[in-house]
């Protein structure tokens, strides 16, 4: 038999649950869950034989970051083949699957030959907290509206693709190392640390409850259930760690009961991703086994499976009715979205874009979360910092603006500062002034201030005593060798007009020199800086290209700085952090007013608008950017001040 002759299993009578969107192939009847072992390590295809759909895969791979394609950062995903169960043990063959292969080949119409080289495995977990007294809460996600598929709907606690480890030996060329039970558990523990900030030692129990297969985006998924020693209150303090703000997911908890899982899967009219549904179903099955025995668990599983199927049909009927009543919406196809489906739910569109309720309303309607009393405020002000609340040339703060901010905070209104500056700079230049110079007499008022630094990489919050709490997103970084190269370039070629900011944690910033550098005669003007900035941009672009990082990093020139940053970050990324903070503080602004002095600042208002917020943008920058903004046909009101920079901000605040 050929080495890679194993077929991808199709739905069969042996599957535990078979629905239209997913099937659970194996489901553990043991409270300890499955163990896993590898029988064979397969290659994707035989040496010197053509790779199926090689051109399609190569086209996708060409758009992948260079550092992820080769070298030490290249990690294929695990592909499972010929999965078998023997008692409480799952065994399988494994083979490498590159992510571009999965992106190119993942739909159910693909041939078995094509799917053999694709079909990666992932992990998904339902996480239980440990509350005072020993009770448990179940953690579930509210997925971000920005997700390409299944946006603004519930999801499992944690999920992520299963990274493989390459066999680096000569005889193992083209193969991956065997997959073990510990590897599977370690993968989800890593994801838990990245998404919620849970440390490995804080997960006290972890079991593999089953394996499911997504029938719409073809891949297998290990289903897991874990318990953490942390309480729901402890977890709330971790909000903002790792990937949480990158994907802007929100996490909720509900009592960990099979009844609540049944409500989530059968009543909420925003369907979970298929394998996430399977994860909750497997977790509920395991809970019932522990509480009531296997016979009752089987009855529960069958009843909930029927309820899921019924709920899918009801959701499709709501969508069909919506398009029948609003046929014009079938032609409302946003950029990069596929044509709408008039006959049922489409994961490419948000629930409310196809006649379904939003997720939060459904969580509240079904009693999964309690409706919290919201603090309605008329306005939330969002300021860029440099050139907006500071004087551009001197970097001194405009006293009138700072006093206005202090008054708003004292009145209980939220204020958000969104900057590329470091948190240490903000503490020294902004917070110190609010503490001591601008009449924030009650330090508790600082609870209403949220400061985002490094365009979302770091941030500051304040407690009821006015004490600062620093946060950092460890998942965002710029390679150290690039940082060193940029620093050398600035010191050797632009020492008069620029300096390398060494206080940044997650990005590179080259900033305009201040006036106190005694090595050079005369003052440094904005014109001096901008002239050198043009040259720096050309040098940095070539440097990033040569290092193969152009798909990973962006260069963002602003009024007084040039930033090299992860493509994830930006003023919009920072706004997603701010929205999460507002929700946590209970604020519900009727309107947002955002202030910026460069075209990159428009992203603040754009992100707020994309999240359904009423927003206005106040532009106080240069005429060149003003022309760009005027011609951009933005979907929210724009205000252009007569004065520019901090004077424009003060002008607008006075007329308010």
User: Which phi and psi angles does 93 have, rounded to 5°?
Assistant: -95, 155
DSSP string, 74-136: --PEEEEEEEEEETTEEEEEEEEE-HHHHHHS-STTS-HHHHHH---EEEEEEEE---TTS--
Q: Kindly report, residue by residue over 504-537, the tens digit of the pLDDT.
A: 888 888 989 875 544 455 567 888 899 999 999 9
Contacts of 243 (CB under 8 A, 6+ apart): 194, 195, 475
Per-residue pLDDT band at 475 (split at 50, 70, 90): low
Q: Look at residue 267 and tell me whether its pLDDT is greater than 90.
A: yes
**Which of 459, 465, 396 lies closest to 433, judged by CA?**
396
Of 138-142, 180-184, 453-457, 477-481, the range with the highest mean pLDDT is 180-184
Strand-strand pairing, 615-619 and 587-596: parallel
* pLDDT of res. 655: 83
pLDDT band at residue 45 under the 50/70/90 scheme: confident
412: left (phi over 0), alpha (psi -120 to 50) or beta: left
The answer for residues whose C-beta is within 8 angstroms of residue 131's C-beta and 6 or more apart is: 137, 231, 232
CA-based angle 167:170:174, to the nearest 5? Answer: 50
pLDDT in tens, 171-220: 888 899 999 999 999 999 999 988 888 899 999 999 999 999 999 999 99
Position 10 scores a pLDDT of 41
Phi and psi at 452, nearest 5°, equal: -110, 125
pLDDT over 70, % of the chain: 91
Q: State what percent of residues in the chain have pLDDT above 90.
A: 54
- Which pLDDT does position 240 carry in this prediction? 42
Among the ranges given (368-377, 427-436, 560-569), the one the predictor scored with the smallest mean pLDDT: 368-377
Reduce the DSSP state of residue 161 to 3 states and report it: strand
Is residue 337 pLDDT above 60, yes or no? Answer: yes
Q: How confident is the model at residue 134 (pLDDT cuts 50, 70, 90)?
A: confident
Contact 575, 604 (CB under 8 A): yes
The per-residue b/e assignment along 519-533, b for 16 or more CB within 10 angstroms, e otherwise, is: eeeeebebebbeebb
pLDDT band at 2 (very low <50, low <70, confident <90, very high): very low
Q: Taking the model in full, what pTM does it have?
A: 0.61
Q: What is the DSSP track for 521-566?
A: SSPPPHHHHHHHHHHHHHHHHHHHHHTT-TTTEEEEE-SSEEEEEE
Determine the average pLDDT of the residues in 593-618.
92
Q: What is the pLDDT of residues 219-256, one digit of tens each?
A: 999 999 999 999 988 887 665 433 333 334 678 889 99
pLDDT interval class at 23 (50, 70, 90)? very high
Q: How far apart are CA 295 and CA 314, in angstroms?
A: 29
**pLDDT value at 50 more than 90:** no
Q: Please tell me which residue, 405 or 394, carries the higher pLDDT value.
A: 405
Over residues 495-499, mean pLDDT: 92
At residue 516, the pLDDT reads 52
As a CATH number, domain 375-475+568-655 is: 3.40.50.1000
Distance from the Cα of residue 537 to its chain's centroid: 29
pLDDT score recorded for residue 73: 60
Q: Is the pLDDT of residue 14 over 70?
A: no
Helix/strand/coil for 213: strand
Instruction: For residue 7, name the pLDDT band (cuts at 50, 70, 90).
Output: very low
What are the boundaries of each domain within the chain? 17-256+268-292, 375-475+568-655, 480-566
Which stretch of 3-12, 109-118, 645-654 has the lowest confidence by average pLDDT?
A: 3-12
**What HEC string does 225-252 produce?**
EEEECCCHHHHHHHCCCCCCCCCCCEEE
Top-confidence range, 10-19, 131-140, 370-379, 390-399: 131-140
pLDDT band at 616 (very low <50, low <70, confident <90, very high): very high
| 17-256+268-292 shares its CATH topology with 375-475+568-655 | no
Is 349 within 8 Å of 337 (Cβ atoms)? yes
**Averaged pLDDT of the chain:** 87
Q: What confidence score (pLDDT) does residue 472 get?
A: 80
Closest CA to 363 of 278, 236, 260: 260
The architecture of the domain spanning 17-256+268-292 is Alpha-Beta Complex (3.90)
Query: What average pLDDT does range 106-130 have in this prediction?
Result: 94
How many Å apart are CA 377 and CA 454, to the nearest integer? 27
Q: Give residue 623's pLDDT.
A: 85
Give the pLDDT band (50/70/90) at residue 439: low
- The encoded tokens of residue 462 equal 């304040």
Pick the CATH number of 480-566 from 2.40.160, 2.40.128, 3.40.50, 3.90.1070: 3.90.1070
């Amino acid at each position: 038999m050929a080495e890679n002759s194993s077929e991808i299993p199709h739905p069969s009578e042996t599957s535990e649950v078979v629905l239209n969107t997913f099937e659970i192939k194996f489901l553990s009847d043991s409270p300890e869950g499955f163990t896993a072992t590898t029988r064979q390590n397969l290659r994707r295809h035989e040496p010197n034989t053509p790779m199926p759909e090689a051109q399609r895969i190569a086209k996708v791979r060409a758009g992948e970051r260079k550092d992820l394609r080769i070298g030490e950062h290249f990690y294929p995903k695990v592909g499972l083949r010929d999965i078998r169960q023997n008692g409480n043990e799952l065994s399988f063959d494994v083979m490498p699957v590159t992510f571009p292969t999965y992106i190119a080949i993942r739909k159910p119409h693909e041939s078995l030959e094509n799917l053999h080289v694709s079909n990666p495995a992932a992990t998904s977990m339902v996480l239980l907290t440990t509350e005072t007294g020993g009770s448990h809460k179940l953690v579930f996600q509210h997925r971000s509206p920005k997700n390409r598929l299944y946006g603004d709907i519930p999801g499992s606690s944690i999920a992520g693709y299963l990274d493989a480890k390459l066999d680096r030996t000569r005889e193992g060329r083209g193969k991956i190392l065997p997959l073990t039970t510990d590897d599977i558990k370690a993968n989800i523990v890593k994801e838990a640390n990245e998404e919620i900030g849970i440390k490995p030692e804080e997960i006290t129990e972890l079991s593999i409850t089953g394996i499911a297969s997504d029938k719409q985006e073809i891949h297998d998924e290990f289903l897991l259930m874990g318990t953490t020693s942390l309480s729901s209150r402890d977890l709330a303090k971790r909000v903002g760690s790792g990937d949480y703000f990158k994907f802007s997911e929100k996490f909720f908890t509900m009592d960990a009961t099979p009844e609540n899982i049944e409500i989530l899967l059968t009543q909420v009219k925003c369907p979970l991703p298929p394998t996430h549904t399977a994860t909750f179903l497997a977790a509920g099955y395991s809970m019932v086994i522990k509480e009531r025995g296997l016979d009752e668990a089987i009855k529960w599983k069958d009843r909930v499976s029927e309820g899921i199927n019924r709920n899918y049909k009801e959701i499709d009927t709501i969508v069909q009715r919506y398009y029948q009543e609003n046929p014009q919406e079938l032609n409302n196809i946003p950029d990069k979205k596929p044509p709408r489906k008039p006959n049922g739910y489409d994961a490419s569109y948000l629930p409310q874009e196809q006649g379904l309720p939003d997720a939060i309303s459904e969580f509240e309607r079904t009693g999964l979360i309690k409706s919290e009393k919201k603090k309605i405020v008329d306005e939330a002000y969002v300021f860029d910092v440099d050139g907006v609340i500071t004087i551009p040339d001197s970097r001194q703060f405009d006293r009138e603006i700072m006093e206005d901010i202090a008054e708003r905070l004292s009145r209980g209104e939220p204020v958000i500062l969104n900057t590329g500056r470091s948190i240490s700079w903000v503490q020294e230049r902004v917070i110190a002034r609010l503490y001591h110079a601008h009449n924030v007499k009650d330090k508790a008022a600082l609870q209403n201030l949220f400061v985002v630094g490094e365009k979302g990489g770091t941030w500051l919050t304040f407690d009821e005593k006015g004490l600062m709490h620093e946060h950092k997103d460890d998942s965002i970084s710029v390679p150290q060798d690039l940082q060193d190269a940029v620093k050398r370039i600035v010191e050797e070629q632009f020492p008069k007009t620029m300096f390398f900011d060494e206080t940044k944690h997650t990005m590179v910033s080259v900033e305009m020199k201040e006036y106190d550098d005694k090595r050079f005669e005369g003052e440094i003007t904005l014109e001096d800086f901008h002239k050198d900035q043009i040259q720096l941009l050309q040098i940095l672009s070539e440097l990033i290209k040569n290092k193969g990082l152009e798909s990973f990093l962006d260069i963002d020139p602003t009024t007084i700085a040039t930033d090299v940053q992860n493509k994830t970050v930006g003023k919009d990324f920072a706004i997603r952090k701010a929205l999460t903070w507002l929700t946590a503080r209970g604020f519900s602004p009727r309107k947002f007013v955002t202030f910026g002095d460069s075209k990159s600042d428009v992203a603040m208002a754009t992100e707020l608008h994309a999240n359904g917020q009423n927003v206005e943008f106040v532009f106080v920058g240069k005429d060149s950017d003003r022309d760009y903004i005027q011609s951009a046909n933005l979907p929210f009101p724009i205000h252009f001040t007569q004065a520019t920079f901090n004077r424009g901000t003060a002008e607008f605040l006075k007329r308010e």
